[in-house]
Structure 1
Amino acid sequence: MPPLSIAPNQQNQQPSIPSSALSTQKLRSLLSSPSRPSPPQLSKPDVLIRPSTPEALVYIDTSDTPPPYSPRREGLPASSLDQPALDIQPNSSPPSLLGSPSPNTNSTLGLGLLHVPKTGRWKRTSTQQVLLEKFAAGTGNTAIPPTTPATSPSRRPRASSLPSLFWPSKLSKKAVPLPAVVTSSDYLPPPAAVMGKGAHLDNSKYTLLSVPLSSADVLVSTGLAPSLYSPPPLYKPDPSQPPHKVPEQELEQAPTWALVTTYMSYFVLIVYGHIRDFFGVRFRAAAYKPLRTQNGYAPINSGFDTFYHRRLYVRIRDCFNRPITNVPGRTLTLLERESPDHNKTFNLTGHTRELLNLSSYNYLGFAQSQGPCANAVEVAVQRWGISVNSSRAEVGTLDLHHEVEHLVARFVGQEAALLLSMGFATNSTTLPALVSRGCLIISDELNHSSLVYGSRISGASIKVFKHNDPKSLETVLRESIAQGQPRTHRPWKKILVVVEGLYSMEGTICRLPEIIDLKRKYGFYLYLDEAHSIGAVGPNGRGICDYYGVDPTEVDILMGTFTKSFGAAGGYISGSRAVINHIKLICHSAIYAESISVPVLEQICTSMKIIMGEDGTDDGRRRIQSLASNAQYFSTELKKLGFIVYGDTASPVIPLMLFHPAKIPAFSREMLERGIAVVVVGYPATSIIASRVRFCVSAAHTREDIDNVLKAVADVGDRLMLRVNRNKAMKASSQSAEDKRSI
């Protein structure tokens, strides 16, 4: 029986209820019937409570044996569970059993199970967190309705005979008794239509608890918008699709002569820079005035701190921070500029140039000023405006925020999600909310700077393992678990392994299946940064879990951004509902930062629905397939040309190694002359000997575009002597031709 669909609380709008659902009249007749039906078989016990529930009937399990099923999605509305719930028409009179509700309120009856062992301690096996939070706060009114036929005040059991219900208070960190009133198990039989097909309750084990709930309490706990009471099921990997095998990744090393000349180049630049500073301070005092003490004030920046910027970066500054004047889609329009003082300042010339764009993270081509996303954004702005002018913790939450958060949770296959307005802050402020002093973070050595920064400010101890090497990770894990905390050697409070799904500088894909095997073996928490992989990797664009066919719930924390594949801004954190609720209270970005603006929210919502195919077209699937085809073709052809290329063929990020610092500006300027915009990267974003150009292919690129880029790269590569593997590529090509002839 499918979950019921509950519509928003609006006038003249009725919920969609299946014909098989129990009607109000049928419920009344069932309750008043002296003979109760035979107990059916129970398959998935849980508390079924909707956000509009004014009162709930909950069967309390007082045995020591937990129910056979513990739902993962704790606290979700009943209609989002994989079982039905009894529904009553809005604004209609509920059964007499529930008493008289407040005027103009929707009524929903929820039945379910709550496991309470006889030991008197609460175990979260099958839970309705809203009930417990309300009881712990001391606001639950547990009076039995006066119309109850089976129980009277004189027959009410004594407090000593009631099950001991306890819930640990977050404030006092002590067990708080719950003021519950338990009635006879004959109070209400569990009908099969309510509990689901094959439902069963052993009346010797279960008693009934009647508690009133308010709509506001449930909404605060669930964090769901009223229009989202009936979400589709969460994403799960399709077992019919064969998962990708873990690729054998081996980063090719540069030739010896390239390494020697690279070190020599940096040595000459550094020595020459210090010589210029030595004579410049003495003979050009005006130029070095900001680096000297003035009127008793020490300089803000010392000469040593600014040496790299003044003597190395300024030389190639024209290759960075280039201004554009249109949407960075398949092409972009560059504003030309000139520098009269050797790249210290720039002036716009008033001329523009159209370039083929291989520099932006426009993986799926959603960076558009026209189309369904732009049209939806325009409509959203007319309805909600531009900004909510507040943080999420105050009055900065729209129903659109809830809708997008729930959509993201479904897309990535997790229980809940939290939106944050900045991708960098998503990592740097979430990690301190998860770990602290006494915890251990084990990080990949090539993790993004946002992960590095967040790990440092968390206060936790940090250890690193070799890039994308599960064997190195296991070695660090075994040593860390055996040694414990520094000096005291106490066990770690938590161990959090932090990795990226797709490394933006290397183009390598995380070896997730092997890391999950280690997770099962050693019991650590896993934080997966999918900033570049979400939307761009996997047959359905759902990231690394989709790529390998891994259940997303195997990963404790899934992080991602909307700036790459979705053409928007901001980031998200997804995981279990308990973890997300904790982050909402602790994470600084969730409390103090400005909410994501309405246009960005609508862009995220529309583009994600296109990827999921919920727009009624196959546009999203075609974009994903086009991106995968372009990435594989471009990476393979570059290797055939003799370039040293890092990364996997499925990665839309394709690094081509330059090594020599002088080749960084040379490659960028040569490609600019050929009408192609690229991104060049050097130290400190990479190591000194690992300078590179990073190509970002897009679904918007055509095969003709890719061929034109390959032709230009081959030409520039010959001029700069970058095709260091030309002989190896020629041998591989000739060997492939011989194999074809032999066949």
Structure 2
Amino acid sequence: MANPADGTVCNGKLHNHQKQSNGSQSGNHKRNGIIRETQQNGKPYFYNKPFVESFEKVPMYLAIFTNLSYGIGTLFGYLRDFLRKHGIEKCNMAVERKEQNDFVPLYQDFENFYTRNIYMRIRDSWNRPICSVPGPTFDVMERVSDDYNWTFKFTGRIIQDVINVGSYNYLGFAEKSDESLTTVRNVLMKYGAGVCSSRQEMGHIDKHEELENLVAQFLGVEAAMVFGMGFATNSMNIPALVGKGCLILSDELNHASIVLGARLSKATIRTFKHNNMKNLEKLLREAVIYGQPRSRRAWKKILILVEGIFSMEGSIVRLPEIIALKKKYKAYLYMDEAHSIGSLGPRGQGVVDYFGLDPCDVDVLMGTFTKSFGAAGGYIAGRKDLVDYLRVHSYGAVYATSMSAPIAEQIIRSMKCLMGLDGTTNGMQRVRQLAQNTRYFRSRLNEMGFIIYGNQDSPVVPLLLCLPSKVAAFARILLKRKIGVVVVGFPATPLVAARARFCMSSSHTREMLDTVLKEVDEIGNNLSVKYSRHKKSACPELLDETSFELED
């Protein structure tokens, strides 16, 4: 339940949702050679602490000033649009030719109001080219603009050794050492850089078979299928699973790829409040009782769409409760683990591993290789008949170019390291280091007085900035101090919840994190963005070094 004083949400223990399929509450189960120990003394073997997520509300005065600032910006935006339309101010945006004005416009007008009047003024805050591996540090190309960020010119100078706290390099596999990339280089020499065909034509190679078998073994499921693009894994496979006469229940904060896939499916879509199990159960109950509108026929399928870690909020899905609801109402569950695979659980096997659950309780396991594995592409995993069906009916398999061999080898290399199949414990050390870095960084920011969103174990760390002027200033000042961070605002976030989004990595050293924290602390004081009413950490036990250690 929510605590209005500090915005912390706890549900204490996990209940009997975590029973094994045979009904027992303790012991092990084995999937594809992986033994998963689900319970110890009635609790998951890893997750013995309360499920803690913090979403402290911004002070009322700040919400008022933020809305006021956007209101003033909107008024000036309309004024500048008027000046552009009548040629008083130079128009830099794409517009229709005169002979096309009477036809359907190619470019959107009102929908781009925010982009051309506010975003264009602050887009220099981060989205700039880098020219190195996105590891713990990277190099950034310096650029300038003389037309208020409509166009950029590169100075030829490079900002070197910028501490990278913005990339999704959770396990540090985005690296450039010759020793680690030997197998990738060898595969590149043998297979070339591209496949030049789809999986159903001439693009199916032995590396795909090896990777899919490894993914299935890693996740503990029957089969898996890989795709060349992570975004398309969602948008092209959801339409193959549901259609007219089906119902999709989607978390309101799901990624754009899930939203697009749901819309393309032509199924009926209903959203439920983020991580709100009461609202989800209400929609499930109504779907079962009333069926389809007008006809009142039963839905062909009911599919629940969620993410493992929500990338803007840093929250973790309440998977045990969702599985319990799914079973109760005979629905299907599709979980996107783009940010959670590799970064959660004692073995890095995602949310299922984090809660100590059976992976077979999730009907469709989706994930990407673009983050924890330092590569590209995505996967769908689950029962063999599901995967066999998608091999024939998925647009991503039939029409899209298949994953290149060097990319597949990079994923294989990273996954074998994570599973310990390379003969080392390096993978487990990376998982442990990521957990330590995450808890240390979050606890220190909480101490400083910032409003931090999300779960205490989530490597995505949103820090609220709210005012658009402070969003831009925060990123610009940090970059001058050689720290790269991503800032996000409306419409990607609620109007009053613009934020900086830090992403932790196992490759970050404690010295790097302390440097970032020192600079963020100073900038937070200068910009007055320490909005929290609680200066001390909500979880003081996290400051204990021993609490960062995970069980073997």
Question: Given the two structures, how large is their TM-score scaled by the length of structure 1?
Answer: 0.66
Within the alignment, does 1:411 sit opposite 2:215 as a pair?
no
Within the alignment, does 1:480 sit opposite 2:315 as a pair?
no
Which of these residues, 375, 381, 384, is aligned with residue 568 of structure 1?
Answer: 375
Q: Distance in 1 between matches of 2:293 and 2:231?
A: 30
Secondary structure, aligned partner of 2:325 = helix
Which has the higher mean CA deviation after the structures are superposed, 286-295 or 337-346? Answer: 286-295
Could you tell me which residue of structure 2 aligns to residue 517 of structure 1?
A: 324
Could you tell me which residue of structure 2 aligns to residue 174 of structure 1?
A: none
- Quote how far apart the aligned CAs of 1:250 are: 4.4
Provide closer, same or farther for how the CA distance between residues 235 and 347 of structure 1 changes in structure 2, counting only shifts above 3 A: farther
2:167 partner amino acid:
S
Bigger strand fraction: 2
Provide closer, same or farther for how the CA distance between residues 372 and 526 of structure 1 changes in structure 2, counting only shifts above 3 A: farther
1:505 partner amino acid:
M
Secondary structure, aligned partner of 2:316 = coil
1:368 partner amino acid:
E
- Quote how far apart the aligned CAs of 1:380 are: 1.0
Q: Return 5+ residue gaps in structure 2 as ranges.
A: 1-20, 22-29, 544-552
Task: Spell out the pairing of 1:304-323 with structure 2 (5 A cutoff).
Answer: 304-323=110-129
Provide closer, same or farther for how the CA distance between residues 484 and 232 of structure 1 changes in structure 2, counting only shifts above 3 A: closer
Could you tell me which residue of structure 2 aligns to residue 534 of structure 1?
A: 341
Question: Contact between 2:440 and 2:542, CA under 8 Å: does it hold in 1?
Answer: no
Which of these residues, 264, 268, 271, is aligned with residue 75 of structure 2?
Answer: 271
Q: Return 5+ residue gaps in structure 1 as ranges.
A: 1-69, 71-81, 83-230, 738-743
1:454-473 superposed Cα distances (whole Å, 9 cap, x missing partner) = 00110111111110111211
Provide closer, same or farther for how the CA distance between residues 338 and 474 of structure 1 changes in structure 2, counting only shifts above 3 A: same
Q: Distance in 1 between matches of 2:92 and 2:166?
A: 36
Q: Distance in 2 between matches of 1:256 and 1:582?
A: 52
Could you tell me which residue of structure 2 aligns to residue 501 of structure 1?
A: 308
Question: Contact between 1:373 and 1:607, CA under 8 Å: does it hold in 2?
Answer: no
Secondary structure, aligned partner of 1:599 = helix
Task: Spell out the pairing of 1:366-385 with structure 2 (5 A cutoff).
Answer: 366-385=173-192
Provide closer, same or farther for how the CA distance between residues 468 and 232 of structure 1 changes in structure 2, counting only shifts above 3 A: closer
- Quote how far apart the aligned CAs of 1:287 are: 3.0
Could you tell me which residue of structure 1 aligns to residue 45 of structure 2?
A: 242
Could you tell me which residue of structure 1 aligns to residue 7 of structure 2?
A: none
Task: Spell out the pairing of 1:27-46 with structure 2 (5 A cutoff).
Answer: none
Within the alignment, does 1:281 sit opposite 2:85 as a pair?
yes
Within the alignment, does 1:724 sit opposite 2:531 as a pair?
yes
Which of these residues, 298, 305, 309, is aligned with residue 491 of structure 1?
Answer: 298
Q: Distance in 2 between matches of 1:365 and 1:248?
A: 26
- Quote how far apart the aligned CAs of 1:383 are: 2.2
Q: Distance in 1 between matches of 2:117 and 2:384?
A: 51
How many residues matched? 508
Q: Distance in 2 between matches of 1:666 and 1:514?
A: 41
Question: Contact between 1:362 and 1:565, CA under 8 Å: does it hold in 2?
Answer: yes
Secondary structure, aligned partner of 1:728 = coil
1:256 partner amino acid:
M
- Quote how far apart the aligned CAs of 1:234 are: 4.5
Secondary structure, aligned partner of 1:527 = strand
Could you tell me which residue of structure 1 aligns to residue 33 of structure 2?
A: 233
Secondary structure, aligned partner of 2:333 = strand
Runs of 4+ in 1 over 4 A off after TM superposition: 237-241, 296-299, 730-737
Provide closer, same or farther for how the CA distance between residues 234 and 430 of structure 1 changes in structure 2, counting only shifts above 3 A: farther
Q: Distance in 2 between matches of 1:418 and 1:731?
A: 43
- Quote how far apart the aligned CAs of 1:237 are: 4.2
Which of these residues, 126, 131, 137, is aligned with residue 325 of structure 1?
Answer: 131
Q: Distance in 1 between matches of 2:273 and 2:397?
A: 32
Q: Distance in 2 between matches of 1:573 and 1:735?
A: 38
Q: Distance in 1 between matches of 2:540 and 2:273?
A: 36
- Quote how far apart the aligned CAs of 1:300 are: 2.6
Could you tell me which residue of structure 1 aligns to residue 416 of structure 2?
A: 609
Q: Distance in 1 between matches of 2:353 and 2:68?
A: 45
Could you tell me which residue of structure 2 aligns to residue 202 of structure 1?
A: none
Could you tell me which residue of structure 2 aligns to residue 554 of structure 1?
A: 361
Could you tell me which residue of structure 2 aligns to residue 126 of structure 1?
A: none
- Quote how far apart the aligned CAs of 1:641 are: 0.6
Task: Spell out the pairing of 1:173-252 with structure 2 (5 A cutoff).
Answer: 233-234=33-34, 236-237=36-37, 239=39, 242-244=45-47, 247-252=51-56
Which of these residues, 522, 528, 539, is aligned with residue 715 of structure 1?
Answer: 522
Could you tell me which residue of structure 2 aligns to residue 103 of structure 1?
A: none
Q: Distance in 1 between matches of 2:486 and 2:85?
A: 35
Question: Contact between 1:660 and 1:691, CA under 8 Å: does it hold in 2?
Answer: yes
1:141-194 superposed Cα distances (whole Å, 9 cap, x missing partner) = xxxxxxxxxxxxxxxxxxxxxxxxxxxxxxxxxxxxxxxxxxxxxxxxxxxxxx
- Quote how far apart the aligned CAs of 1:382 are: 2.1
Task: Spell out the pairing of 1:42-441 with structure 2 (5 A cutoff).
Answer: 233-234=33-34, 236-237=36-37, 239=39, 242-244=45-47, 247-284=51-88, 287=91, 291=95, 293-297=97-101, 298=103, 299-354=105-160, 355-441=162-248
Question: Contact between 1:466 and 1:473, CA under 8 Å: does it hold in 2?
Answer: yes
1:236 partner amino acid:
R
- Quote how far apart the aligned CAs of 1:479 are: 1.2
Provide closer, same or farther for how the CA distance between residues 731 and 495 of structure 1 changes in structure 2, counting only shifts above 3 A: closer
Which of these residues, 247, 251, 269, is aligned with residue 444 of structure 1?
Answer: 251
1:403 partner amino acid:
E
Secondary structure, aligned partner of 1:348 = strand
Q: Distance in 1 between matches of 2:365 and 2:261?
A: 15
1:526-579 superposed Cα distances (whole Å, 9 cap, x missing partner) = 001100000010000000010000010111000000010000000000010001
1:349-406 superposed Cα distances (whole Å, 9 cap, x missing partner) = 0111120000100000000111554111011122222222110010111111001001
Question: Contact between 1:645 and 1:654, CA under 8 Å: does it hold in 2?
Answer: yes
Name which structure has the greater RCO, CA cutoff 8 Å, separation 6+: 2
Percent pairwise identity: 47
Q: Distance in 2 between matches of 1:538 and 1:525?
A: 23
Question: Contact between 2:53 and 2:456, CA under 8 Å: does it hold in 1?
Answer: no
Provide closer, same or farther for how the CA distance between residues 724 and 516 of structure 1 changes in structure 2, counting only shifts above 3 A: same
Could you tell me which residue of structure 2 aligns to residue 225 of structure 1?
A: none
1:258 partner amino acid:
L
Question: Contact between 2:54 and 2:455, CA under 8 Å: does it hold in 1?
Answer: no
Which of these residues, 434, 440, 448, is aligned with residue 641 of structure 1?
Answer: 448
1:625-646 superposed Cα distances (whole Å, 9 cap, x missing partner) = 0000000000011011110001
Question: Given the two structures, how large is their TM-score scaled by the length of structure 2?
Answer: 0.88
- Quote how far apart the aligned CAs of 1:277 are: 1.8
Q: Distance in 1 between matches of 2:192 and 2:145?
A: 41
2:355 partner amino acid:
Y
- Quote how far apart the aligned CAs of 1:522 are: 1.1
1:336 partner amino acid:
E
Q: Distance in 2 between matches of 1:232 and 1:556?
A: 17
Provide closer, same or farther for how the CA distance between residues 296 and 566 of structure 1 changes in structure 2, counting only shifts above 3 A: closer
1:312-352 superposed Cα distances (whole Å, 9 cap, x missing partner) = 11111212321111101010001100111111111110111
Question: Contact between 1:414 and 1:576, CA under 8 Å: does it hold in 2?
Answer: yes
2:65 partner amino acid:
T
